[in-house]
Structure 1
């Protein structure tokens, strides 16, 4: 299962590189040669959407997204684990609903024949790739939830109660 997690994180990292290259090349061509890539704006916004959904997948499993630790830092390991399981279940529900609605968006975009401005390329493949990132997030959050409940040792010594000395 770890190879799948690593693959999804690698794909997310690849999209970071693609978005950075798109922005860098567009700016350099405009600044030095007064040339604009056709549909650069459309590609930029569509690729950024893809990056966001694959980024959700990459950060959700590791638990490296933004957190507020005011309560969490002041409770014991058992309650911390309970909070983690509860928060991950809520995240799983929210991202599952989001994935369902994005799936609908992919097919309505295809049915409506939405195209880019300059090259008149269909936009639905970009939405499909974004949906795959969102579906990957659901899979990784489900794996995280399972491991938090049944294999907490996968997350190191975080939940072990330390003896009082």
Structure 2
């Protein structure tokens, strides 16, 4: 995307997902920070802080998957990719992205089963008896966003590779 173009819906959606993932990082950090301060200075803790921390970490992981799924900047192994021609690089990228789309779609279906199971079984936190299914549902929503972003990436890889946001897509090098 060049600077003179107005971001389209897909680009705004991608940016929103990245901001949400960043907000979840902040929430997890705040939960840990507050709990450490309370334990150190007041010999107490937030009720259900362990359950909240565990579930917030799950949310963070799935929204992090969503945030990193679209961009090509996450850790990759590019040994074969760097040795082939530009057309073959594109074929490898499309294949890898389609496989990722399949895997994350299956993961999303299975996570929905977990959300439904915790709702059906009325699983609650230990101290405050808060239902846990909303936390699982937020994590599942992150996984759904990952599927959408991977689908957008796949479409752009096939039809509009110039619209990708990969850093130096044409000149990735082995580091």
- CA distance, structure 2, for counterparts of residue 119 and residue 130 of structure 1: 21
Aligned match of 2:108? 99
Aligned match of 2:15? 6
The TM-score, its normalising length taken from structure 2, stands at 0.88
1:146 matched to 2:146? The reply is no
Runs of 4+ in 1 over 4 A off after TM superposition: none
Instruction: Report if aligned partners of 1:42, 1:117 keep a CA contact under 8 Å in 2.
Output: yes
- CA distance, structure 2, for counterparts of residue 158 and residue 134 of structure 1: 25
1:54 matched to 2:63? The reply is yes
- CA distance, structure 1, for counterparts of residue 38 and residue 113 of structure 2: 37
- CA distance, structure 2, for counterparts of residue 77 and residue 102 of structure 1: 37
- CA distance, structure 2, for counterparts of residue 128 and residue 87 of structure 1: 28
- CA distance, structure 2, for counterparts of residue 63 and residue 40 of structure 1: 35
When structure 1 is superposed on structure 2, of 75-84 and 134-143 the one drifting more is: 75-84
Counterparts of 1:10-49 in structure 2, within 5 Å, are 10-49=19-58
**CA shift for structure 1 position 159:** 4.1
Aligned match of 2:4? none
**CA shift for structure 1 position 65:** 2.6
Equivalent residue for 1:117, pick from 105, 126, 129: 126
1:158 matched to 2:169? The reply is yes
- CA distance, structure 1, for counterparts of residue 73 and residue 52 of structure 2: 28
Aligned residue for 1:99, secondary structure, equals helix
The TM-score, its normalising length taken from structure 1, stands at 0.93
RMSD, aligned α-carbons: 1.3
**CA shift for structure 1 position 141:** 0.2
